[in-house]
Amino acid sequence: MSHHLFLLSPSDTPIYSLTHYSSKPAQSTSYPLASNLPTWSTSAFAGTLTALSGASSVTQSHHVPGGGVKMGGGQDRHVVQMIANASLDNIEDVMRRENAMYLKSVDKFNEWTVSAFVTPGNVKFVLLHDQAKNDEGIRAFFHDVWELYVKTMLNPFHTAHTVIRSAAFDARVRASAKKNL
């Protein structure tokens, strides 16, 4: 069971991403996309635009909003990022309707569900996961990530649009993911 987390700045630029392989037992679902990601991996958004052009060949009826996301290599990452981007529209819809921070699941694509969390500063946390009903865990995880994010924001060298490169932040997010997801 794997999860993908993306943090997006108020201007919809990616700040951080994480892929996490949970060790919790999951319902057996068959994945049409064979997930060949290594157990723990993160990508800093330093991919090339050629990957983006390659992604257009994936059959995807959604129009991708939210700006050009540079992607890392790998077929699966493309689709994952496409899904995340495509869900931004849905997130904004739900945001307009509800005032809560934790928007539960905003979108579904094949076996992936997208949950979102919007901070008061309009930073979006997007989590892709499969069907496992883990609402409370996800909520707790989002709150943890939010706290860690706030601490990072207090760093004067950090602006709302800087990519988060801190190893400490990374380690703590992974630990929280392990605990909650």
Q: Which residue intervals of 2-134 are DSSP H helices? A: 49-55, 75-97
**Nearer CB in complex with another protein: 59/157:** 157
SS3 4: strand
Could you tell me the two tokens for 37? 């990601």
Residue 130's identity, in one-letter code, is D
Do residues 123 and 149 make contact, with C-beta atoms less than 8 angstroms apart?
yes
Asked if 13 touches another protein (CB under 8 A), the answer is no
Asked if 32 touches another protein (CB under 8 A), the answer is no
Asked if 156 touches another protein (CB under 8 A), the answer is yes
Give the interface segment with another protein, choosing from 8-16, 21-29, 77-85, 156-164 (CB under 8 A): 156-164
**Nearer CB in complex with another protein: 100/150:** 150
Output the CA torsion 14→18→19→22 (10° steps): -140
CB of 5 to another protein, least distance (A): 21
Number of residues engaging another protein in binding (CB under 8 A): 8
Residue 148 burial (10 A CB sphere; 0-12, 13-18, 19+): buried
Q: What CA–CA distance (Å, rounded) separates 22 from 56? A: 29
Among 29, 35, 155, 171, interactor with another protein by CB under 8 A: 155
Q: What CA–CA distance (Å, rounded) separates 169 from 24? A: 23
**Nearer CB in complex with another protein: 71/164:** 164
Give the interface segment with another protein, choosing from 70-78, 85-93, 121-129, 154-162 (CB under 8 A): 154-162
Asked if 157 touches another protein (CB under 8 A), the answer is yes
Q: Per-residue x/- mask for another protein, residues 159 to 178, rule CB under 8 A?
A: -------x-x----------
**Residues lying near another protein in the complex (CB under 8 A):** 151, 154-158, 166, 168
